[in-house]
Amino acid sequence: MIEISISQSLNNQTNQTNQTGPDLIVTDIWFIAQSNQTNGTTNVTNVTFAAGIKNVGNVIADADGLMRHRFLVAPQNLIANVFTGDIFPGQTVTVSMAFALNPIQLNTVTVTADFDNEIPETNENNNQLSEQFLI
Ligand SMILES: [Ca+2]
Ligand SMILES: [Ca+2]
């Protein structure tokens, strides 16, 4: 498991705990299904990844419709968008997406919450999480 390092001063973190507003984070990334499949002569592994997106702030993340979250799977650089509606304070929503991956490969999955930055948050620097999976 690798988490992208965020450079941020302790001062900012202290101040942010007192701020009012939504704050989206990616809590975890995991895989929920896996199957091997022969695609022509190429063997691929279909994997569904899931991630938790939580509003750790104290105000609703009001998407005014839908907000976009993004999966990026390297090294194949597969990109998928997942949309959710509003996320309430303390609420975690699970988003998931299936990918056709090369088998026996180390994949780095990066999930970015509120990819279009539609939601003004008390902390915009904690919206991304990366984890590695050997598929
Ligand atoms: Ca955030
Ligand atoms: Ca944002």
Q: Residue 5: inside a domain, yes or no? A: no
39-63 pLDDT, tens per residue?
676 788 899 999 999 999 999 999 9
Cis-peptide into 75, omega within 30 deg: yes
Is pLDDT at 77 greater than 90 in this prediction?
Answer: yes
Close Cβ partners of 112 (under 8 Å, ≥ 6 residues apart): 26, 69, 70, 72, 127, 128
85-107 pLDDT, tens per residue?
999 999 999 999 999 998 889 99
Q: What is the mean pLDDT of residues 3-28?
A: 66
CA of 107 to the centre of ligand 2 (A): 26
- CATH number of the structural domain spanning residue 61: 2.60.40.10
Q: How many domains does the chain have?
A: 1
Q: 19: pLDDT confidence band, cut at 50, 70 and 90?
A: confident
Q: Which ligand is nearest to the CA of 127?
A: 1
Select the more confidently predicted residue: 13 or 56: 56
CA of 22 to the centre of ligand 2 (A): 9
pLDDT recorded at residue 20: 96
CA of 126 to the centre of ligand 2 (A): 9
Q: Which residue(s) pair with 38 in the sheet?
A: 43
Q: Report the alpha-carbon distance of residue 50 to residue 8 in Å, rounded.
A: 27
Q: Which ligand is nearest to the CA of 128?
A: 1
Its pTM stands at 0.83
Which domain, by its residues, includes 54? 27-134
Q: Which ligand is nearest to the CA of 24?
A: 1
Q: Residue 8: inside a domain, yes or no? A: no
Q: Residue 56: inside a domain, yes or no? A: yes
